[in-house]
Amino acid sequence: MTEENSTTTRQRPARDYDIRFGHGLARSDSARWPRYAVVTTPSAWKVADPMLSKQPAGIAYNKWLDPNHLDETTGALPDDMDLAVGVGAGRALDHAEYVAHKKKVPLMQVPTVVSTGAIIHGFCGDWTGRVIHGVACIVNCEYVLVDYDIALSAPERLNTAGPGDVLCGDAGLSEWRHSAARGRGPAFDAEATRDVIAHRSEIVSRFPATLDPQKHLTCNSVQFIMKAVQDRDDPMLRHLAAPSADHGFCFALELANDRFWIHGEECALGAVIVAWHTGQSPETLIERLDTCKVMFRPRDMDIGRGELRRGLEELPRWMGEEKAGRDTESIMRSEPVTGKRFDECWT
């Protein structure tokens, strides 16, 4: 293990992550771990604990990424630990990065689902409540263990949210096409968007073949979803004409309602709303999400009318918060889905 590589301030590109797939990996690999501590959640630990060869020296349960919570839980872990292990989904893996940074030990990540970008992003955000202000630390893990037995134990939607967190990028394309058609901003650039469109189309065309005859996820599905999330960064579109209102919607929805939902599903719903609001064939995006088994409809996500309304009302404020470094031009800010437009959206 390379401890000096675990607390670097330069984030490793997603493409360079060493992700290992297989059955029983958690058991075989943990047999070789030194004295380690786990950062996890109760539900994730319930699944992973029986699949490890030996017990940790300490366990920190993540509730959120507030600095006080991170410091309190990190301080309670033994100072003589030699390895931090993240077991769970996004917040647990981010929390584990913070522990590795503070304890100055290497980091291992054992995701219990493969839908989260936290697996291949080494930064832990600096949060206050539900608002992120920057980066608390950057820690690149030694490698990632995707144990099929663990990942397939999760509810299916927790994994299929992964394609949702990739396909949601269509929100930017919707806005660019819409503004270009109205003569606002630059013309839509087919060359600049070619790679990202091809990546998303490949996900939709290949995903169904990974399912079993009953249309359930398989080991191939788990590896395919993880690869789709890992490969997202390189072709990602970064253009002022293509804002990420889908992710903005996710943060605004949670902030306005003081509640969590599944990230990839939230972003997918945000992208559908943007496609509808801009008249960019929302039915096409809906079909693609359904093909990849992504849950995004409010009724399936337990999002009520009032919750969605509050989130869409908060979105223009969130995207225009200059003090937080956000001053994003978007139709969701200039022509928000509020009032009668929201009523049309809900129906």
pLDDT by 10s per residue, the chain, length 347: 444 444 446 899 999 999 999 999 999 999 999 999 999 999 999 999 999 999 999 999 999 888 999 999 999 999 999 999 999 999 999 999 999 999 999 999 999 999 999 999 998 988 877 777 788 999 999 999 999 999 999 999 999 999 999 999 999 999 999 999 999 989 999 999 999 999 999 999 999 999 999 999 999 999 999 999 999 998 888 899 999 999 999 999 999 999 999 999 999 999 999 999 999 999 999 999 999 999 999 999 999 999 999 999 999 999 998 777 788 899 999 999 999 999 999 99
Output the CA–CA distances (angstroms, integers) from residue 161 to 32, 165, 334, in the order listed: 32, 6, 29
Region of residue 301 (left: phi > 0; alpha: psi -120 to 50; beta: else): alpha
Q: What is the pLDDT of residue 6?
A: 42
Q: Is 84 helix (H, G, I), strand (E, B) or coil?
A: strand
Query: Exposed, middle or buried: residue 49 (CB in 10 Å: 0-12, 13-18, 19+)?
Result: middle
- DSSP track, 2-63: -GGGTS-SSPPPGGG--EEEETTHHHHHHTT--SEEEEE-HHHHHHHGGGSSS--SEEEE-S
Q: What is the pLDDT of residue 3?
A: 42
Q: How many other C-beta atoms lie within 10 A of the C-beta of residue 147?
A: 26
Q: List the beta strands (DSSP E) in the chain.
A: 19-22, 36-40, 58-61, 83-88, 107-111, 123-128, 131-138, 144-147
The conformation of residue 61, written as its DSSP 8-state character, comes to E
Q: What is the pLDDT of residue 9?
A: 67
The backbone torsions φ and ψ at residue 143, rounded to the nearest 5 degrees and listed phi first, read -165, 175
pTM: 0.92
The conformation of residue 215, written as its DSSP 8-state character, comes to S
Domains and CATH numbers, the chain: 3-151 (3.40.50.1970), 156-346 (1.20.1090.10)
Query: Exposed, middle or buried: residue 262 (CB in 10 Å: 0-12, 13-18, 19+)?
Result: buried
Which among 292, 238, 301, 237 is positioned nearest to 273, based on CA atoms? 301
Tokens 């304890």 belong to 103
